Structure 1
Amino acid sequence: MRYHILGTGAIGCHLAYDLKSRHNVTLILRSKNALEDFNKRQNQIVYRQVNQTEFVGKTGFDTMVAGDNHGADDGKPSNMMEAVVVTTKAQHAQEAVRSIKPFLSKSSTLILFQNGMGIADELLETLWPTSEERKNAPTIVLGVNRHSIMRTEPFTILHNAGWYKPDDGYFMSPFPTSLEQDREDQVQTVMKGFLDLPSLNAKIIKWKELQTTMMRKLVVNAGLNAATGILESSNGGLIASSYGRELIRQVCEECALVLSELNTTPDDLYDMVYGTAHDAAPNTCSTVQDIKAKRLTEIEYINGYIIRLAKERNIPVPTNKFLVTLLHAKEHFIQAK
């Protein structure tokens, strides 16, 4: 099987690196400049686990540039993309998928790995808005990433955690509104490619269980990303301070009220967020990396999602609102784009 990887940040590089051991992998790069940079790096992705001493490179990846639709219009099955793993930031997912839409059909499967929630509905409603278009839309698989991986430079990643604990790894489930009966075999084959690689620590779970997993991951991101982004801190740096821990606790208290489906306590959520930060203490999350690179963050899909849900449920969330406001102010101050 051929997997196309749309987004070559930490998660995209990790999936490409491991999938390449058994499958054909094509990297969809965002620009010709990115392609030139990859070529200068000998067309390799470089990987190291935190318990190893040396980085190891892997080559043999095919490449294409997003938006280069040459050969897509003849409609031949050989030109259609079978499996596309989308690992871009949440705020870029829509335009990224739009750039390869000519290669997508009802025989394609999109596997979405983004922080936050609401991306799948947004893609379908925007790119395949009518019932007739929806018949030819790709099937969507939603994924939750519980690995802790940091990009140290382009196409080079440090893997801090996620390959051995049962509660870590990649969790996947087909998105119910996009799954038709005649596509089940296709989707199972795509997901099996992940299961066959023990290092990915991947699991297929039921949709309701994935929703719970996504919500709990949302709380982790809400507790860490905005605060570390504002402070430009590692995970460990945030929890080293009593003030940082108090911020996490306040976010968890609000999340426990808003995400009533979790049927849990603020203490349970705090322990989860703190434990994640402790296990991946050296890691700087994607929001920190965005701020340092003067890029806009995906906070509207994380704490912003919690704020919108809280408004629907008439629940006050002052800490989440404060963190989002302050992070947006910082984006403006540094002229993030």
Structure 2
Amino acid sequence: MKHWPKGAHMRIAIFGTGGAGGYFGAQLALAGEDVIFIARGDHLRAMKAAGLRLETPSGETHIRTQATDNPAETGNVDAVLVGVKAWQVAEAANAMRPLVGPDTVVVPLQNGVDAATELVAVFGSSTLGGMCGTLSFIAGPGHIRSVGGQNFIKFGELDNKLTERVERLRQCFARAKVSVEVPANIAKALWDKFLTVTSFGGVGSITRAPIGVTRAIPETRKLLEQCLQETLAVAKARNVPMADTAVADTMKIYDTLPANGTTSLQRDIVDGKMSELEYWNGAVVRLGREVAVPTPTNQFIYDCLLPSELRSRGKVNFPT
């Protein structure tokens, strides 16, 4: 395996320059890393013409960017941050092959717990486990807006070993002043977030209500707790070392969130867009079935949202 001088800059490809990829890629570029943004359409044309505009509560920054829709132009890089939606990962893996050499690390940033498995099938040991948190989105072509809150990234080897390549990438984000962590157990970290977003997102999506409402009404608060209990049972049956207090701990987190908080799942479903339903509540049901753990609340949420999801994908039409 290649050895790098301490503090050496990295060549990093952002595959999918949406809210997460755009935000973290911009921070890395501002810190002097060699960042290449893989994008398409109007977003790509705007970035080529005028760079990437990053808007945050503290102001705006314009970043001169390298941007392309053709990974073959870029060649092998040190790291790929995978910023596409969960349902796009398998297709993206094939498209990003020219970026990945023997010393490249591939870091998924998707919600859910399936992305690393899908990437391992293509890239093997080049794949890390990864996740992020950011309230950022595309506000317009070449324009990423971050509305504040905590922005963080976590990643690690799938076997939890501390390696030089993980430490090098951690230092890279630290130089960019991004909150970065290498968890002691990356699977637990992924499932902790999965537990949080699937219950919050699923209940919010069927009620069309923000967290301030669903946590305050006894009936919907109970739904949140039931979703959490089911997801925790699935995780434990799959030998993920979750805390016994995970449900109570997550409810405490919900009680601290801004009252108007919603998830990307809920926003996409309300807007009639394709969502990550299959990788959130749908995944709880599928992964539970594999280990014979019943998940009736998540099944109910999935079943209720499925017509909207199929409509967004052009698979069913609603009569008018």
TM tier relative to shorter chain: 0.7 to 0.9
Distance 2:102 2:89 in 1: 19
Matched, 1:18 2:27: yes
Q: Report the CA distance between 1:83 and its aligned residue.
A: 1.2
Q: Report the CA distance between 1:115 and its aligned residue.
A: 0.7
State the Cα RMSD in Å: 2.8
Q: Report the CA distance between 1:35 and its aligned residue.
A: 1.3
Is contact 1:150–1:284 with CA below 8 Å preserved after alignment?
no
Distance 2:251 2:34 in 1: 36
Q: Report the CA distance between 1:273 and its aligned residue.
A: 4.4
Q: Report the CA distance between 1:274 and its aligned residue.
A: 5.0
Is contact 1:117–1:218 with CA below 8 Å preserved after alignment?
yes
Distance 1:114 1:326 in 2: 23
| Corresponding residue to 2:264 among 286, 291, 309 | 286
SS at match of 1:14: helix
Q: Report the CA distance between 1:139 and its aligned residue.
A: 1.4
Distance 1:148 1:228 in 2: 19
Is contact 1:161–1:280 with CA below 8 Å preserved after alignment?
no
Unaligned runs of 5+ in 1: 73-78, 129-133, 164-168
Is contact 1:46–1:57 with CA below 8 Å preserved after alignment?
yes
Partner of 2:3: none
Distance 2:134 2:213 in 1: 16
Matched, 1:108 2:104: yes
Where does 1:91-130 land on structure 2 (aligned, <5 Å)? 91-125=87-121, 127=122
Distance 2:225 2:118 in 1: 31
Distance 1:308 1:330, change over 3 A: same
Question: What letter corresponds to residue 232 of structure 2 in structure 1?
Answer: A
Cα deviation per residue 1:224-268 (whole Å; 9 max; x = unaligned)?
A: 122223344443343344333222111012223222244544x64
Is contact 1:9–1:88 with CA below 8 Å preserved after alignment?
yes
Question: What letter corresponds to residue 149 of structure 1 in structure 2?
Answer: L
Partner of 1:211: 187
Distance 1:158 1:237 in 2: 24
Distance 1:97 1:45 in 2: 27
Is contact 1:223–1:251 with CA below 8 Å preserved after alignment?
yes
| Corresponding residue to 2:78 among 58, 82, 89 | 82
Q: Report the CA distance between 1:187 and its aligned residue.
A: 4.0
Q: Report the CA distance between 1:318 and its aligned residue.
A: 0.5
Question: What letter corresponds to residue 103 of structure 1 in structure 2?
Answer: L
Partner of 2:135: 149
Partner of 2:164: 185
Where does 1:321-332 land on structure 2 (aligned, <5 Å)? 321-332=299-310
Distance 2:66 2:209 in 1: 35
Partner of 1:75: none
Partner of 1:3: 12
Distance 1:210 1:88 in 2: 20
Distance 1:37 1:314 in 2: 49
Aligned residues: 300
Cα deviation per residue 1:50-94 (whole Å; 9 max; x = unaligned)?
A: xx5xx41331121011xx25546xxxxxx3122111121111112
Is contact 1:290–1:296 with CA below 8 Å preserved after alignment?
yes
Distance 1:156 1:16, change over 3 A: same
Distance 1:118 1:170 in 2: 17
SS at match of 1:295: coil
Q: Indicate the percent of aligned positions where both proteins have the same amino acid.
A: 20
Partner of 1:158: 146
Distance 1:300 1:161 in 2: 27
Distance 1:6 1:59, change over 3 A: same
| Corresponding residue to 2:55 among 47, 53, 58 | 47
Matched, 1:170 2:156: no
| Corresponding residue to 1:27 among 28, 37, 44 | 37
Q: TM-score, normalised by structure 2?
A: 0.82
Distance 1:230 1:279 in 2: 19
| Corresponding residue to 1:63 among 61, 67, 83 | 67
Distance 1:246 1:333, change over 3 A: farther
Is contact 1:13–1:157 with CA below 8 Å preserved after alignment?
no
Cα deviation per residue 1:133-181 (whole Å; 9 max; x = unaligned)?
A: x5xxx61222232x34142624332344225xxxxx322212239x9x9
Unaligned runs of 5+ in 2: 1-9, 316-320
Distance 2:23 2:73 in 1: 28
Distance 1:118 1:189 in 2: 25
Question: What letter corresponds to residue 189 of structure 1 in structure 2?
Answer: R
Distance 2:269 2:260 in 1: 17
SS at match of 2:247: helix
Distance 1:310 1:142, change over 3 A: same
Partner of 2:318: none
Distance 1:218 1:70, change over 3 A: closer
Distance 1:193 1:321 in 2: 41
Distance 1:215 1:247, change over 3 A: same
Distance 2:209 2:51 in 1: 31
